[in-house]
Structure 1
């Protein structure tokens, strides 16, 4: 009876680790979906701005370059987060053009794209939060008893990286009325 209980505990713990590992993978896939949606919006936003701010070429090129780097599907979690931080900074400069060019800010297409981008950013933030929560649950199961023992029996139960915002995204926005 004791052996059967031990076997049951091992099987149950192993299955829990599998479920949590799969949840982290599914959570990462959701981040990827939202990032692709964001990446798909960017060319339209750039084209919309290009007509109004043609001489802001460096800003527009920086957004396109950052989008290309962030869209690289071969990046790991840490590199992906860094590329997305660069893209966020470049998009901030692009959206600031709307403040410098009132006719661009008033353009319905630009305003719609800007609104969709804001919605995409909110979804990305939620997906990041959900992913990091899934990683935390997985790590807790891996490090606790009997998960730490059972994880050694089966392969593929290594730690996962958190999707952390880099320095540009962590800095507070400064508002100046000068």
Structure 2
């Protein structure tokens, strides 16, 4: 009887010791794998999505400013209907194309989004040239406030685009280089390389100039 109890106790001790070693091994392997960058790809992917959200937010902020801007200009320069219409139409097209985290891997849709936003930037730039002809408009307080907000938004767009480009480059580089390339092959093969912004218009990497003084 005593021998049986001792045998059971030794068995339980061995099992406990084995479990402890297994747990320690799992913890150690997890630590080693984390140190080898096994989590880098999903982390960088989330950073890309977060950076893209900021790009969308700033473009939406610009789109929200345009109706008031157009109405203000219209009050002083109704004869510039063609230019105003071009801005309104460009805004409608830009806001109709949405690229969210679920469609960020669609190169064609991303390119369409870029082109639409670039067209809106061009239409706004032409509108600002027209404004030079109307000194009364340039001194209007509502217009000056909108001008300041638009300048700030264009700067934020440039920063958000820069951050997104950097995030995509970091993500793509991780997939293409060691050891990220190994982890991508073994565990994240469903996560493709991402498209990045490209300068599709002249000086597209620069914020439009909206100074009137």
TM normalised by structure 1 equals 0.86
Give the Cα–Cα distance (whole angstroms) in 1 for the partners of residues 31 and 188 of structure 2. Answer: 14
**Structure 1 unaligned blocks of 5 or more:** 174-178
- For the aligned residues, what is the CA RMSD? 2.4
Once the two structures are TM-superposed, the CA of residue 78 in structure 1 deviates from its matched residue by 1.8
2:75 counterpart of 1:51: yes
Render the CA deviation track for 1:138-162: whole Å, top value 9, x for unaligned. Answer: 1110001121121122244211111
**Structure 2 unaligned blocks of 5 or more:** 1-24, 100-108, 209-213
SS in 2 for 1:157: coil
2:117 counterpart of 1:93: no
CA contact (8 A) 1:81 1:165 kept: no
Give the Cα–Cα distance (whole angstroms) in 2 for the partners of residues 166 and 150 of structure 1. Answer: 33
SS in 1 for 2:78: coil
Q: 34, 46, 49: which one pairs with 2:58? A: 34
SS in 2 for 1:132: helix
Q: Which residue of 1 aligns with 2:193?
A: 159
CA contact (8 A) 2:83 2:123 kept: yes
Q: 137, 145, 157: which one pairs with 1:124? A: 157
Q: Which residue of 2 aligns with 1:66?
A: 90
SS in 2 for 1:109: helix
**Comparing 120-129 with 50-59, which one deviates more in the overlay?**
50-59
CA contact (8 A) 2:37 2:179 kept: yes
Give the Cα–Cα distance (whole angstroms) in 1 for the partners of residues 202 and 144 of structure 2. Answer: 24
Give the Cα–Cα distance (whole angstroms) in 2 for the partners of residues 24 and 134 of structure 1. Answer: 5
Give the Cα–Cα distance (whole angstroms) in 2 for the partners of residues 68 and 168 of structure 1. Answer: 23
Q: Which has the higher contact order (CA 8 A, sep 6+)?
A: 1
Number of corresponding residues: 171
Q: Which residue of 2 aligns with 1:176?
A: none
Render the CA deviation track for 1:105-145: whole Å, top value 9, x for unaligned. Answer: 11111111011001000000000000000001111100011
- In terms of Rg, which structure is larger? 2
Give the Cα–Cα distance (whole angstroms) in 1 for the partners of residues 198 and 146 of structure 2. Answer: 26
- Are the structure 2 counterparts of residues 157 and 20 from structure 1 closer, same or farther at C-alpha, using a change threshold of 3 Å? same
Once the two structures are TM-superposed, the CA of residue 70 in structure 1 deviates from its matched residue by 0.9
CA contact (8 A) 1:141 1:147 kept: yes
2:139 counterpart of 1:139: no
Alignment of 1:166-177 (within 5 A): 166-170=200-204
SS in 1 for 2:38: helix
